Amino acid sequence: MPRFHSPQSERGGLLASFPRLLLGILALLALHSNKSYGVLGGATRAPDGSLTIRLTGPANLPADASHDLHPSLASFSIETAFFETFVGNTSSPNLLTRRLLETLQQRTGTPAEIRIGGITADSTYWNSSLGTSSFNFIDSTGALHNTTIGPGFWESVGLLPEGTKVTMNLNLEDLNYQSAFDVAKSAVEGLASGQLVMFEIGNEPDHYHSFTPQNYTSIWTKWADDLTAAFGLKRPFFQVAATVEDPFWPYGAPGATSQLDCVSALAAGANRDGVVASCSEHSYQYSVCDPVRTAVATLPNLVNHTRLAMFLDLWQPRVQAVREQLGPHAFVNGEYNSVSCSGKNGVSNTFGQALWLLDTTLYAASINISRMYIHQGGPLALQSSTQLNHGGLSFYDLWFPVQNMNGPVKVFPSYYAYLFITEALGFSKSNRIANIYPGRQANGSSITTAMGDDSSGQLVSYGFWDLGGPLNSGYPSKLALLNLQIYNTTQAGTVIRPNSTFDISAYVKEPMQQVRIRRLQASGADVKEGDDTLWAGQKYGTGLATGDIREELVEGPLVHVQASEAALVFLY
């Protein structure tokens, strides 16, 4: 039967939840008098728009720092229908995808985790006789109705870097247990021992069947129990929720507790039999699912820390509640990207998105979201009757593994953000992170422009404390300094590129201590080519580094960061 999905799936949250966000802004303004953690410094702005920010410390691990960071913080969600497109098959493996994933793994020693799922998971079926890895039924209008996978699909999964952990998303929307069972059985039998680490039942179930926490949980729990028993799975083995609607604001607003989400599912008894390993929720800050939201999905709106942090702060109470019940790494963002309905050309495929991705991942880590699975795939017809994109691969993908109607094989600037993140993590398993500028109030809320961020959401700083390193919690081992001020290539020759300054003297032991700096750079925020993007002086257009590593040695406490640039500072 043809599958016609809800036009609100992967819908993006900013405009749809604008009334709630507006209330949130007003509520945050009312908290202006609350005492902050004291990490703010004074800022001065020059006539050219450049800023100087003094980070005031203290240097020791802040009270609001995260738990130990997960080595697979920077992970991926790949749409089921497009998985073979990205990875290839045993006859024709996709070497670009393999190289890009291995390059990330080399920096941490741990592969990025892969969640195979998305909206097409709820129309994916198993056929043991299928002669190809997968088959997508696409009608004459280009609408993708369903996906069938066969034994070769699991051979394709085996092409991922050795040690890659996989979460498999099963079909809930059909309410057909046998169909979900068949796919689950094929995964258990088809994957190498230890590779399959979790099942997820349903994708964004808050968008179909008018599910409530109670009736969703009654079905979900029975299926999870039955699958656990059928395959002898070690408890816990399931990821609950995978919901996408933004949390209501304020947190105690009428209707907030009746939303289907991680917390309400747990409250309804999802883990009564100990089957829940973790909770997943999805987030899309902007959307092109309809013309109204398309209009506000702009680069300046996207690349702004205040907007980004206020959006992610909506999840803070849920993150805290889930961690208290299931453990420190139990809340993940199992699917996210910048602009839902497959991104926006000139926004999601730019260096500006790379800066957004860097800030989003680090800020999410700072509020204890354990892993971030950035979504990869392509536009899905019938996802929305008014969506901007049709066909090809998504403009928010980090790379195009094959030539398609939206462009040739290429690596996009956003991939370089994951290089920055994995290098910041390194091989340590005891890193903690804190947002040290603009920081957060004592109640956990972000400090907005009206409450001490003199950079208007343009300058951001994070500290990494390696509790297993020689400095322990006394000083950070690294700083991430982001300048989100938009500078486009179209301004070159007419506008001098602003160059803001971070005074990091509070975080170094000696006034003239030498530090190392690696930079994430492009000629402007509007750059769309990975080959016009640099991480530490190197390009990764083929999946492998080309060019020499460029690293600066700087004495003294001042670090200059250009508009639309980020720097990773190695302090010790």
Question: 508-563, pLDDT tens digit by residue?
Answer: 988 889 999 999 999 999 999 999 999 999 999 999 999 999 999 999 899 999 99
546, 469 contact by CB (below 8 A)? no
Tally of domains in the chain: 2
b (16+ CB within 10 A) / e for 64-75: bbbebbbbbbbb
pLDDT in tens, 106-165: 999 999 999 999 999 999 999 999 999 999 999 888 888 999 999 999 999 999 999 999
Chosen domain end from 425, 459, 474: 425
- The verdict on 47 and 102 lying in the same domain is no
Residues of 167-178 as b/e, b for ≥16 C-beta within 10 angstroms?
bbbbbbbbeebe
* Residue of 81, 175, 76, 176 whose CA lies nearest to 119: 81
- From 381, 399, 425, give the residue that closes a domain: 425
Q: Is there a domain that residue 114 lies in?
A: yes
Residue 439 has what DSSP assignment?
-
Q: What is the pLDDT of residue 20?
A: 41
Structure tokens at 296: 């506000």
- For residues 210 and 301, membership in a common domain is answered with yes
- Provide the residue range defining the domain that includes 535: 43-65+430-570
| Secondary structure tally for the chain: helices H, strands E | 13, 24
> What one-character-per-residue DSSP string does 284-336 give?
EEEE-SSHHHHHH--HHHHS-HHHHHHHHHTTHHHHHHHHHHH-TT-EEEEEE
Q: Are residues 185 and 240 in the same domain?
A: yes
> Which CATH number belongs to the domain containing residue 279 in this structure?
3.20.20.80
Residues 111 and 201 in one domain: yes
**336 and 376 co-located in one domain:** yes
Band of residue 443 on the pLDDT scale cut at 50, 70, 90: low
Distance CA 142, CA 239 (A): 32
Residue 17 maps to a domain: no
Residue 480 pairs in a beta bridge with 462, 568
Rounded CA-CA distance 380/359 in Å is 28
Which of these, 139, 148, 133, 233, lies nearest to 183 by C-alpha position? 148
Residue 447, pLDDT above cutoff 60: no
pLDDT at 4 over 70: no
Q: Is 93 helix (H, G, I), strand (E, B) or coil?
A: strand
Taking the C-alpha atoms of residue 79 and residue 86, their distance in angstroms, rounded to an integer, is 10
**Do 520 and 534 contact (CB within 8 A), yes or no?**
yes
In a domain, residue 81? The reply is: yes
Give tens-digit pLDDT for 164-184: 999 999 999 999 999 999 999
Choose among 186, 150, 146: nearest CA to 166: 186
DSSP-derived secondary structure for 470-496: TTTTSS-SEEEEEE-----GGGTTTSP
The yes-or-no verdict on residue 431 having pLDDT over 90 is yes
Query: Which of 112, 111, 275 minimizes the C-alpha distance to 201?
Result: 275
Which helix (H) or strand (E) segment holds residue 36: the answer is none
Half-sphere exposure of 61 (CA within 13 A, CB side): 19
Instruction: Tell me, yes or no, whether 448 lies in a domain.
Output: yes
Residue 320 and residue 470: Cα distance in Å, rounded? 30
Same domain, 81 and 103: yes
Same-domain status, 309 and 261? yes
451 pLDDT above the threshold of 70? no
Mean pLDDT of 463-487: 95
Whether residue 453 sits in one domain with residue 333: no
**In angstroms, what is the C-alpha Rg of the chain?**
23
Assess contact for 379 and 81: CB atoms under 8 A.
no
DSSP for 172-183, written as a single string: -TT--HHHHHHH
Residue 343, in any domain of the structure: yes
Higher pLDDT, 10 or 217: 217
Higher-pLDDT residue of 19 and 551 is: 551
Q: Would residue 112 count as lying in a domain?
A: yes
| Cβ(556)–Cβ(512) below 8 Å | yes
Pick the closest to residue 81 from 496, 393, 350, 292 (CA basis).
393
pLDDT digits (tens, 9 = 90+) for 232-251: 999 999 999 999 999 998 77
Tell which of 425, 454, 476 closes a domain.
Answer: 425
- Strand 499-503, strand 558-562: pairing: antiparallel
What CATH code is carried by the domain that includes residue 517? 2.60.40.1180
How confident is residue 31, by pLDDT bands cut at 50, 70 and 90?
very low
Residues 6+ apart with CB under 8 A from 226: 177, 181
The reply to whether 505 falls in a domain is yes
Q: What is the mean pLDDT of residues 459-473?
A: 94
459 and 371 share one domain: no
8 Å CB contact between 259 and 220: no
**Residue 435 and residue 387 in one domain:** no
Listed residue (218, 173, 198) closest to 275, CA to CA: 198
* Same-domain check for residues 419 and 463: no
Task: Confirm whether 460 is domain-assigned.
Answer: yes
Task: Report the C-alpha gap between 3 and 208 in whole angstroms.
Answer: 12
Closest CA to 163 of 106, 234, 78: 106
Same domain as 165, residue 47: no
